[in-house]
Structure 1
Amino acid sequence: MANVLRDFIKRAPASPDLMVALMLLLAVAMMVMPIPVVVVDALIGFNMGLAILLMMVALYVSTPLDFSSLPGVILISTVFRLALTVATTRLILAEGEAGSIIHTFGDFVISGNIVVGFVIFLVVTMVQFMVLAKGAERVAEVAELRNGHIDANESRRRRAELEKESQLYGAMDGAMKFVKGDSIAGLVVICINMLGGISIGLLSKGMSFGEVLHHYTLLTIGDALISQIPALLLSITAATIVTRVTGTARINLGTEMVSQLTASTRALRLAAGVLVVMGFVPGFPLPVFLMLAAVFAAV
Structure 2
Amino acid sequence: MNQEQKHDLELLAAKIRLDVLKMLQHRGYGHLGGSLSIVELMSVLYGKQLHIDPKNPQMPDRDRVVLSKGHAGPGWYSVLAEKGYFDPSWLYTLNEGGTRLPSHPDRLKTPGVDMTTGSLGQGTSSAAGIATGLKLKGSKAYVYCIVGDGELNEGQCWETFQYLAHYRMNHCIVIIDDNKKQLDGYTKDIMNPFDIAEKMKAFGFHVETAKGNSVEAIDEAIEKVKQVQDQAVCIVLDSIKGAGVPYFENMMANHSVKFNTDEINAATDQAIQALEAYIQKEATSHV
Q: Which has the higher contact order (CA 8 A, sep 6+)?
A: 1
Query: Normalized per residue, which structure has more strand?
Result: 2
Normalising by structure 1, we get a TM-score of 0.28
Larger Rg: 1
Query: Normalized per residue, which structure has more helix?
Result: 1
